[in-house]
A and B are shown apart, each in its own frame.
Chain A
Amino acid sequence: MTAVVQYRPSRQKRIKDTTRQAILYLLACSLSLVLVFPLFWMVSTSLKTDAEANAPKPVWLPAQPQFDSYGEILADPDWRTYIANSIFVTALGVVGTLVSVTIVAFAFSRLDWPGRNLVFFMMLGTLMLPFQATLVPQYVLFNKLGWVDTFNPVTIPGYFAGGAAMVFLLRQFMLSIPRELDEAALVDGASYWQIFRHIVLPNTRPALATVGLFLFVGQWNALQLPLIYLQSRNMHTLPMAILNLFNPQQTQQPWTLIMATSLVAVVPLVVVFLAVQRHFVESIVLTGTKG
């Protein structure tokens, strides 16, 4: 009988395993290098001279790193304005949306009320609605309100739990917290607000971090709405300002400056991602939604 096979891998199998590991590891590493290459190129180009950046044969690394472009950004009050605008719009939009989305997700996951399923179903329906569908009438509306060329259209709609996908993700996560906790608290005389504040919120942190990340990325990278609503130069956000650096009339572009400003726009994305990554993986695995 072979029932009692001694399972100690042979020497040969161990070597085979190690080789396999090494190959997989090498593969994973080289793929990583390919994927981060654009970031390397961004940094490298931002440190080149204009001649190097526009050379007919690409220069991989600048002979002498130039920090002029960064100096230019720092010295130029316009760039400070763009950065401040981006931070303002992102902070306001992310905080407002995150708070309201969490409250609404609580209503959909931990409270029983008549009509909940109907309202939830409607919310799922809006998942299909492309945001372009409401783009035109919203513009007319905001135009009437005198909101064009103010930050209102790119921040305030978010306060109304903008983004059904985010509500959905949070709801799925909140459903995984045992309901018995709520019931025990209710027996002890807690209000729903206290349950929200002391039971649900602390347990939802990973999902909140994830939703916060998605909202942050969406708002920080946003281009379409700002292009429509933020018309004056002093209202422009960072992506718009970068877009404006590119002059299609010219053959030579200020690539070093474009790449330096691009780095300024990209660093926050990477930093925030690294800050929340632990929670991010956790909540994605738990809810299995949204990518």
Chain B
Amino acid sequence: MDIAQPFLEFLEKLFGPVNSLLDPLKSNRMAYTLAWSALTLVFMVVSGLCMAGLARLIARLRGKNRQYQYKTFTGYLFASPWITGFVIFVLGPTLLSLYWSFTNLRIGEPAELVGMKNYVDLFRDRNFITALFNSFYLTVIGVPLQMAAGLGMAVLLNQRIRGRSLFRLIYYLPVLLATSTAVLFTWRLMLNANNGVINSILGALNKGPLHYLVGAFIFVTELTSAAFMALQTGNTKILEKIVAMGFPGPERLPLWLGADGLAFLWNKPSVVIILMWSAGAMMVIYLAALSGVPQTFYEAAKVDGANAWQRFRHITWPMIAPATFYNLIIGMIATLQIFEASVSLVRDGGQNQALYSVAYYLWRSTFRFNKVGYGAAMSWVLLAIIVILTVIQFRSQGKWVYYQGE
């Protein structure tokens, strides 16, 4: 027995007349949505007035003065869009999904309660574990590199150089582009292992004395990826293979977004490259933090004879620690929710599910395989992880923040 069913049937009945009224418009896709938008607006105004009126009535019954009643009415009226939306699009759906996460619901079939089965299955599901490990890899390898890139940009732009504001724009621009399918396809083209422009540059470098640099990059990347893989599967075969292959010869180049051979070791490093490219958001956070470091500290350190590195290490770095921590948590949460990259960069989440994220796997299970109950359970695990991370971020803020003048 599905307790959500009567509720949904009620909604269907409620909206039935409206739907039949607007159905003739359905052939014109834009007019249909415009009509619904207008109706929504009316609904919002009416529900807002009702909510605000109710609030004022309560205030009056509690014997408050006119001024107080007026303030109450205005406040609820202005806040009503969010409150209404919260109930309809957040609270209701969240509770429904909590309930469904304990059922085996598939759309078009009646749901049955299955208890904790979805959650138990989830932690036995190889794809889900892979998605979590992918986020783990990106958190340990990708996010620090992204933060380093962001910090580097911020420190560079914190100097007095000409055209600073123009550089700031250019460095930030990739943030806006990083979720664009169009730009991700450009990366896919550039990172093509066979005829991509990046490998052609690396190939040219790989001939001369820089070969050791390129080779070291390839070796280290493959070793880390394989090590993470071994950690995940408990199987060290691939790691041993990489070690046995030894230092890459000049003919070997990164496999990036490829789909065969050892490419699965390179799918995630490709995403790391894109993360570093779009480090501008972290740069902005760091720039704000850097501008909060009092200049007097540096002057004092200079007098004491501290060099640039020492000043960075002992003044800047501890002072911007809150920004670092904020960036880390935001970056971690983002790795769980990667979606565009899993769809646009590779086919179906990459070779060996290398680019599965929780968000991608959730979408795939629910909307490709109609496992709605299972997807709901996954969304709750995702929510739990994010809540834990955010609480950690909040809790530790007190410990990390260095107050000015202390």
Contacts and interface: CB of A to CB of B under 8 A. Distances in A.
Interface of A: 21, 24-25, 27-28, 31-32, 35-39, 41-42, 45, 54-58, 60, 88, 92, 96, 100, 103-104, 106-108, 111-116, 119, 122-123, 126-130, 132-141, 143-146, 150-152, 155-157, 159-162, 167, 192, 196, 213, 217-218, 220-221, 223-224, 227-228, 234-235, 238-240, 242-243, 246, 248, 255, 258-259, 261-263, 265-266, 269-270, 273-274, 277, 281, 284-285, 288, 291
Interface string B136-174: 000000000000000001001101111101011111011
Interface string B278-318: 00111011001001000000000000000000000000000
A284 B88 CA distance: 31
A221 B282 contact: no
B81 A134 contact: no
29 contacts: A25-B161, A28-B157, A31-B171, A32-B170, A41-B189, A42-B183, A58-B197, A104-B78, A113-B71, A113-B74, A114-B72, A132-B379, A134-B93, A135-B366, A136-B372, A137-B96, A137-B100, A137-B376, A150-B36, A156-B37, A160-B84, A192-B78, A221-B181, A243-B181, A259-B185, A259-B186, A285-B288, A291-B280, A291-B282
Most-contacted residue by chain B among A123, A156, A239, A291 (CB, 10 A): A291
Interface residues of B, dominant DSSP: helix
A72 B283 CA distance: 39
Contacts of A239: 180-182
Contact of A152 (B33, B343, B358): B33
Interface in B63-102: 71-72, 74-76, 78-79, 81-86, 88-90, 92-94, 96-97, 100
A38 B187 contact: yes
Contact of B97 (A104, A136, A161, A285): A136
A130 B197 contact: no
Contacts of A258: 185, 189
A113 B180 contact: no
Contact of B173 (A55, A128, A240, A270): A270
A227 B368 CA distance: 11
Given A32-B170, A113-B75, A137 B175 contact: no
Contact of A277 (B59, B156, B169, B189): B169
Interface residues of B, number: 109
